[in-house]
Amino acid sequence: MRNFIELKDVAFSYELPNRLSIPALKGISLEIETGEYVAIIGANGSGKSTLARHLNALLVPQQGYVQVMGYDTYDRANHRKIRGQVGMVFQRPEDQIVATTITEDIAFGLENIGVPTPEIRDRVHQALELMGLWEERHRPPYLLSAGQMQRVALAGILAMRPQCIIFDEATAMLDPLGRRTIREMMARLHKEGLTIITITHFMEEAVEAERVIVLNKGTVALDAPPASVFSDVVQLAELGLALPPAGGLAKQLCLHFPELPPNLLTPLAVIEALDALPHSFDITPIPISKFTEGTEKTIEIAVDNLGHTYMQGTPLAHRALEGVTLAIAHQEAHGILGATGSGKSTLMQHLNGLLRPQEGTVQVGNYDLNDPRTDLKAVRRMVGLAFQIPELQIFEQYVGDEIAYGPRLFNLQREELRERVRWAMLLVGLDFETYKDRLTFTLSGGERRKVALASILALWPRILLLDEPTAGLDPQSRQELLGHLRHFSASGMTLVLSSHQMEDLAILTTQLTVMKKGSTVLHGSVREVFGQVEHLRELGLGLPVITQVVAGLRQRGWVLPAGIITLQPLVEHIKRARV
C-alpha cells in the first residue's frame, strides 16, 4: 500500500481582522494509506474541520506540506485533480446543495470536471438509484428532509467516482435512520476499497473505523486503533471526549462482573461477552416494580386531535399534523421522538402559541389556544421554546444584552433585569462577571448554546420546550447540558424535548410520545416505549444502548423483561441467571 495522503509539519492559523491570529493546527504530521477507514475526533474547536479541509486542498498549509496522491496541494494547478479524487460531505445538508433540483445538483461536480453530457446522465442515474433517490429526483432540495439532502450530497460525490470521501460531521443533523444509512454507506464504500475519513462527535461512529486520530488543540493527541484509543477513560475526559455509550455501559457492568473482558465498545461486543458468561436459561424474570405513576398529577399540556396544514389553500399545501393527541403532566419530563419530518417541531410550536390550532384543541396551563382572545405573549412567556441549533439565532453583540432581550420586552428594568440575567447565567453555568461583556461571536459552540438557553430561561418559563438540544455538541458539552436540564427538571420545571439521541431521552425523560408522519403512534413511560423494540425499529428509530443489549440477549434466549432501561435491573437479572 502507498500513502494516499501525507501531511508533514502542517500548521495553520485563522487571521482575524484585528491582526490577531487563532492557531488551529500546530505541526501535524500524518500518513493515510489507500483504503484506510479513519475517524478524526476531538472536542469542539480542536481543529478537526480545519484538518479535513487540508486533505482536499480547500485550505493550504501555512507551514509544512500536504500531498494527496503525490500532488502537492500548494500548487493550484493540482486542485482539480485532487478534488476529483477526494470528495467531501459537509455537516449542514442544506448548505451544500447548489442546484434547484436534485438531478441537477448531483450533476454539478461532473459538469465542473468536464464530463461529457451522456456520461453525466448515466452517472447521475446510477448515483440516484444507489442512494435511493430516484423517486425524489425532480423535487426542489428545500422540500427534502435533512437525511434526504445528505444522501443527495453523497450521491453528488459518488457520481464523481472519487478514491476517498471525507465526511465532516455528516451525521450530526440526521435522525437515527438517516445516520444509519450514511454509516452503512461508509462501511460499504470502505469495503469497495475507498479511503474513508470521518469526523464525528459520535464515539460509536469512531469505533466503527479502523484507526482513530484524536486531535487536541491543534495537535495529534492519539493515533491508534479504536480499542486502544478508548481504553483510557481518564485521558479521554481530559481530551473532552467520552466512551461510546456501549463502552460506558460495559465499564459499569465490569464493576459487577469483573470477569467480563475489558474494552467492549459496541453493543454487539457487550451482548456477546455477556452471552459468553456461564448462565442458565430457566429463571423466572423479576417483575420490574411498576413505576410510581399512580399518583394523579395535574395535566399541564393537553392536545386533542390536533391537525395542521402548512401553506393551506395553495398547491404546495402540506399536511404536517393529523389527529395528534398528547397529555403532559405538571413537572413531567416528556420526550417526543420520530423521524425527521414526522411533525415534532410543528407540534412543539403549537405548545407555545407560535401556531394556532387549525383543527382540534390545545390547552396549556390555563390558556386555551383555540380562543382567539388568548394572550399569546403570556403563553410564550410561560412556555420557553429553544429551537434546534438555537445559537444561530443570537443577534445581540454582548452576551448580557442577548440574555436581557426577553426580560426587557416584558418591562424588567435596571437591578431587577440585572438580577434576572445573573440568575439565568448561573443556571447554565456561565459566570456573570466574566461573560456578560463578552462578544457573542467570540464564544465557542458550547458556550453559545448555553447563552441561547439562558436567554430563554431568563423569562422564568414554567415549561421548557427543547428541539434537539444536544445536536452538534461534543461529548463533554453534551454531558454538561444534560446535567443542567436534569437539574431544571428536578427543580420542578416541566420539560418537553424532542431528540434523535435515544440516550438523551433515556437519561432525561420519564414519558415518551412517538410520532410518525404527523400522527402520534405510541405513548407511554420510557420503559414501555423502549420495550417495543420491533415497533421502534420499523419506525426507523434507534434504541438506547442498554435496550439494544437487552434485546440482543433476549434474542439469544435470555429470560429478561423487554423494558429494562436502567443498569440495576439488568445487573440483577444477569446475577440470577448465573446462579
Partner 1 sequence: MSDFEFLRFVTIGQYLPTDSMIHRLDPRTRLLSSLLLLLAITVAPHLMGIAIAIVTVIAGLIMARIPLKYALSGLLAPLPIIALLAMIQIFFGFQPDNGPLLWAWGPITISTGDLWNGVALITRFVALILTISLASFCISTTEIVHSLDYFLKPLRLFGIPTYDFILMIQVALRFLPLLAQEAERIAKAQASRGAEWGTGKSNLFQRIRQAFPLLIPLFLTSLRRAENLALAMEARGYQSGERRTALQQFHFQLADGIALSLILPIIYFVIRS
Which 87-126 residues touch partner 1, going by CB under 8 A?
Answer: 87-88, 90, 92, 94-101, 103-104, 107-117, 120-121, 124
Identify which of residues 112 and 566 has a Cβ nearer to partner 1 in the complex: 112
Contacting partner 1 within 257-316 (CB under 8 A)? 310-312, 314-316
Query: What mask, x for binding partner 1 by CB under 8 A, covers residues 342 to 361?
Result: -------x--x-xxx-x---
444 binds partner 1, rule: CB under 8 A: no
419 binds partner 1, rule: CB under 8 A: no
SS3 at position 98 = coil
Query: Pairing between strand 511-516 and 333-337?
Result: parallel
Answer whether 569's CB lies under 8 Å from 286's CB.
Answer: yes
Contacting partner 1 within 32-71 (CB under 8 A)? 53, 56, 58
Cβ at position 407, least distance to partner 1 in Å: 8
Integer Cα distance of 151 and 186 in angstroms: 12
Identify which of residues 410 and 432 has a Cβ nearer to partner 1 in the complex: 410
Identify which of residues 119 and 431 has a Cβ nearer to partner 1 in the complex: 119
Q: With CB under 8 A, what is the number of residues at the site for partner 1?
A: 74
Match 501525507 to its residue by C-alpha cell: 6
Q: How far is CA 514 from CA 146, 300, 437, 538, in A?
A: 19, 19, 42, 12
Answer whether 331's CB lies under 8 Å from 297's CB.
Answer: yes
443 binds partner 1, rule: CB under 8 A: no
Answer whether 369's CB lies under 8 Å from 379's CB.
Answer: yes
Q: How far is CA 276 from CA 261, 270, 561, 566, in A?
A: 10, 10, 20, 22
Cβ at position 537, least distance to partner 1 in Å: 31
Q: Which of 44, 9, 275 is nearest to 169 (CA)?
A: 44
Query: What mask, x for binding partner 1 by CB under 8 A, covers residues 360 to 389?
Result: ----------------xx--xx--xx-x--
* Buried b or exposed e, range 53-67, using 16+ CB within 10 angstroms: bbbbbbbbbeebebb
Match 461508509 to its residue by C-alpha cell: 186
84 binds partner 1, rule: CB under 8 A: yes
Identify which of residues 120 and 269 has a Cβ nearer to partner 1 in the complex: 120
17 binds partner 1, rule: CB under 8 A: no
460 binds partner 1, rule: CB under 8 A: no
Identify which of residues 87 and 569 has a Cβ nearer to partner 1 in the complex: 87
Q: How far is CA 234 from CA 214, 240, 241, 253, 529, in A?
A: 14, 10, 10, 18, 34
Integer Cα distance of 273 and 552 in angstroms: 11
Cβ at position 376, least distance to partner 1 in Å: 5
Contacting partner 1 within 201-230 (CB under 8 A)? none
161 binds partner 1, rule: CB under 8 A: no
Of the candidates 154, 155, 157, 574, which one interacts with partner 1 according to CB under 8 A?
Answer: 157
